Structure 1
Amino acid sequence: MAARIKKGDKVVVITGKDKGKTGEVVRVFPDKDRAVVRGINVARRHQRQTASEQGGIISKEMPIHLSNIALAGPGDGKPTKVGFRLNKDGVKERFARRTGEVIDG
């Protein structure tokens, strides 16, 4: 299956404790259907001190399931589904289903 959400995409959380918040996708785990989004699903974790890092309680973004996020539309930032089509040159492109705009050229 083609990747509907990729690293660098702007997404909107559609359900859960962070509903309505927007953020940028930092990492995607396609085999687990999860993504890490900057500023979303933040948990506080205890970290042991190492030679390179300070110890203590740190805030860390945890993965969120792809079904709980939707791509933010390129024009208005509202949640939209992602579709695929071939452009006139025969190259596959992603587009916003709600508006029909191309997401990435």
Structure 2
Amino acid sequence: MKIKKGDKVQVITGSDKGTVAEVKKVFPKENKVIVEGVNMKKKHLKPTQEQPEGGIAEFEHPIHVSNVMAYDAKAKKASRIQYKVEKGEKVRVYAKSGKAVK
């Protein structure tokens, strides 16, 4: 999987299409990522001693990695990621601009 934690990504499909945000967590075995502010779900909480009113909590659910694309902030475009070897080191680069990721 070429998307890593902390990468800026753009959602390319679904109800949050076009959203640019940061990846909070990556699940490589499931090919899923959690993106900040995307795919929000609500969970109803029972009242407890710590929180006597209970309430409704809202949090992000994972989305499939095929639904996001790495976002190049300088070019202001979504791009695929390639690997190149520079000075004996494997480096991730944007396919459209050829610049290194981060």
2:79: which partner in 1? Answer: 80
Cα drift, residue 52 of structure 1: 5.5
Question: Which deviates more, 49-58 or 66-75?
Answer: 49-58
Q: 1:9 aligns with which of 7, 10, 17?
A: 7
Moved over 2 A (4+): 47-55
Provide the TM-score with structure 1 as the length reference.
0.87
Give structure 2 stretches of 5+ with no counterpart: none
One-letter identity of the residue aligned with 1:59: E
Aligned length: 101
**CA RMSD between the two structures:** 1.6
Inter-CA distance 49–23: structure 2 relative to 1 (3 Å threshold): farther
Cα drift, residue 44 of structure 1: 1.2
Give structure 1 stretches of 5+ with no counterpart: none
Inter-CA distance 53–68: structure 2 relative to 1 (3 Å threshold): farther
- Residues 3-82 of structure 1 mapped to structure 2, 5 A cutoff: 3-50=1-48, 55-82=54-81
Q: Give the fraction of aligned pairs with identical amino acids, expressed as a percent.
A: 38
Give the structure with the larger strand fraction: 2
- Alignment partners' CA distance in 1, 2:48 and 2:23: 28
